[in-house]
Amino acid sequence: MKSQQLLRSKPPARKKGRERTEKRMKFAVKAWSNGKARSGILQLGSCPHNIETPALLLTTRKGLPVYIPPDHLPSLPSPDSNLLHFSPLHFLEGISLKAISNIGGLHPLLGLHDHIMVAVPRDSIISIPDHDSTNRIGASFETPCGRMLIKPADYMEMISSMRPNLWATLADEVPAWASEKRNKASVERTLKWLDECITSNSTDGAVLGSVVGGSREEQRRSCAQEVAKRNVEGFWIGGFGLGESMEERNPLLNAVMDSLPEEKPRLISGLGLPEEVLQGVAAGVDLFDSTYIYHLTLGGFALTFPLESIEKQVTKYQPNSNSGCDGTKINLKATMYRKDTSPIVDNCKCYTCQNHTKAYINHLLNVHEMLAHILLEMHNTHHFLGFFRSIREAIHEGKFEQFRQKFIGSRHEHIFSAALNV
């Protein structure tokens, strides 16, 4: 069993054109717990601090969190909040790629020089994969501009203009119910586009090779093995969160992880719920791109689950059929919070809990003030980043599986109790 083990990356020899990329990204695994769960250090881009993994990529719309203003970003935990996911497809309307390139890319455009920008074409809000319209020429996405077919050359033009620190190659993602033939085609196309993206790459950003394969273990394994042979700095695992169940996901994750080298980071999309994040960490995932915070905030929910060590995980929130409480979150639109003058979570250090009450946010939500979503996203982001910090601590203590089982068991108890009270 590996414990507190430092793995030193020994990447294969690269061409001279890749030397600047190697200096811009370093990754090392620092600790293991319960098999594949691991904690590491990622040094990337202009971020002055190392990023500890497992880590969360904050969801953005055109490079900025949906509700948090740029002047409030420094109030979030740093450097945990410095990882920002964006989809290049968000910029298909508005400012031109040439203008972005002339400005110097997204960092100077947004004024976020110390943040790490990670480009993945897919998200679950605006740029949604459309497998029925994808063909061998390019990947199809549903966007606010309509259905768009993005060719590898088009995608690389976006990457070259935006200059992200880290970017995933174009992929053909398919849902869990796709046929064997369609699955095989998606792997072949993804590998072909991967080679085209690498060949035409002229950026300093680190490349994540895309791994797909739908709900077929053999296709997942084959794709991962082929991508691992390519000249990439890490891996983006796509095709999850598209119809598969939690039970179906485990063997698929294992098929991928067992085929990837341990010394390179792995980013995954589609695993958003806390239980899904824990499932991904248990399989060996390092980075998570999730829209969970956005959907919680949009619905008026606030995260409340305890963040202490597993020995102290006892929550004071009691299930109530009108509260929307399931042991992890509460619904602040509920009338029971109309006169509640306490913060969302006692002793929480976020801006919202330090300055405002449940009653105030309940009022803002019910009169449809956008400030409600600003305050909620700030709290939810702060709290979810704390969840990842607790995961890292559990891994370093060698108690990740106990942490995971305690968390899942606590939530099941709340849901069961709430069902009895209905």
Tell me the binding residues for Zn(2+). Answer: 348, 350, 353, 379
- Whole-angstrom CA distances from 350 to 11, 272, 290, 382 are 40, 21, 20, 6
Residue among 60, 85, 65, 86 nearest 75 (CA): 65
In angstroms, the CA 411 to CA 392 distance is 20
Place of tokens 């990329």: 21
CA distance 239 to 220: 10
Q: From residue 144, give the alpha-carbon distance in Å to each of 91, 92, 94, 119, 127.
A: 11, 9, 12, 18, 8
Helix (H, G, I), strand (E, B) or coil at 360: helix
Q: To which residue do tokens 């600047």 refer?
A: 20
- CB burial of residue 50 (10 Å; 0-12, 13-18, 19+): middle
CA distance 132 to 67: 32
Residues, the chain, total?
A: 422
Closest by CA position to 17, among listed 150, 298, 207: 207
Annotated binding-site positions: 348, 350, 353, 379
Residue 268 tokens, joined: 């995954």
| Strand (E) or helix (H) holding 256 | helix 246-257
